[in-house]
Amino acid sequence: MSQDKDQKHKERQQRLKEQVDQRVEAAQKEQGIFQVITGNGKGKSTSGFGVVTRCVGYDKKAAVVQFIKGEWDCGERRLLEKHGVPFAVMKTGFTWDTQNRESDTKAAQETWQQAKAFLADESIDVVLLDELTYMITYQYLDLEEVLAAIRSRPHMQSVVVTGRAAHRELIELADTVSEVKNIKHAFDSGVKALQGFDY
């Protein structure tokens, strides 16, 4: 009886392996990947920085653009700058506290110029555009311009965009899209954001 079960399991695994092997064989295109990480749960920026870290681990070149970070501290920045990763950080303007459209738009536009330079640079393998989605939602950046810059980037360059409520057209253009779902968050039970964990 148990032998029969073992045999069935083996056959099932064998079929699964064949299917996976076929799909691996079929995936032959070599190109940079555009990934969107969206949703209301925690882990979007962490995941984007994970990709940057992988890239740096292979001595490849990555660049980070942080929209809406303002003056906040950032553990990843402290580490990655030491490894030669350039950071373009929106210094002033949009945070949850300010609601000045004019200064926010100006700050977003300035930061976007740096993003555009990274997206045109053949030597950069991965560009992280952290919290970009909000710039489109608030119309601080032109959607078409953002899509065009991502579309015309170097062939082998990968791009990761993070932020809640990603625009439908960003999702359409992306190769890989993940939605991080909020099940619960420590903040809801009164736990303070923790250095080295939340930022």
Residues that bind Mg ion (CB under 5 A): 44-45
Nearer to ligand ATP, 67 or 118 (CB): 67
| Pick 59 or 196: Cβ nearer Mg ion | 196
Please give the DSSP secondary-structure letter assigned to residue 189: G
Residue bearing tokens 């989605």: 133
Distance of CA 58 to CAs 51, 53, 180, Å? Answer: 11, 9, 27
Out of ligand ATP, Mg ion, none, which partner does residue 40 contact, by CB within 5 to 8 A per kind? ligand ATP
Question: Which of 116, 164, 177, 178: binder of ligand ATP (CB under 6 A)?
Answer: 164
CB of 25 to Mg ion, least distance (A): 36
Q: How would you classify residue 163: left for phi > 0, otherwise alpha for psi between -120 and 50, otherwise beta?
A: left
- Bridge partner residues of 162 (DSSP): 37
SS3 127: strand
User: Could you tell me whether strands 62-66 and 87-89 are parallel, antiparallel, or unpaired per DSSP bridges?
Assistant: parallel
Q: Shortest Cβ distance from residue 130 to ligand ATP (Å)?
A: 8
CB of 119 to ligand ATP, least distance (A): 21
Is residue 44 part of the contact set for ligand ATP (CB under 6 A)?
yes
Minimal distance, residue 158 CB to Mg ion, in Å = 18
Number of residues forming the site for ligand ATP (CB under 6 A): 17
Q: Which of residues 82-111 bind ligand ATP (CB under 6 A)?
A: none
Beta strands in 39-194 (DSSP E): 62-66, 87-89, 126-130, 158-162, 176-179
| Footprint of ligand ATP on 62-81 (CB under 6 A) | none
Dig out the tokens for 29 from the structure: 């295109």
Residues that bind ligand ATP (CB under 6 A): 40-46, 131, 162, 164, 180, 182, 185, 187, 193, 198-199
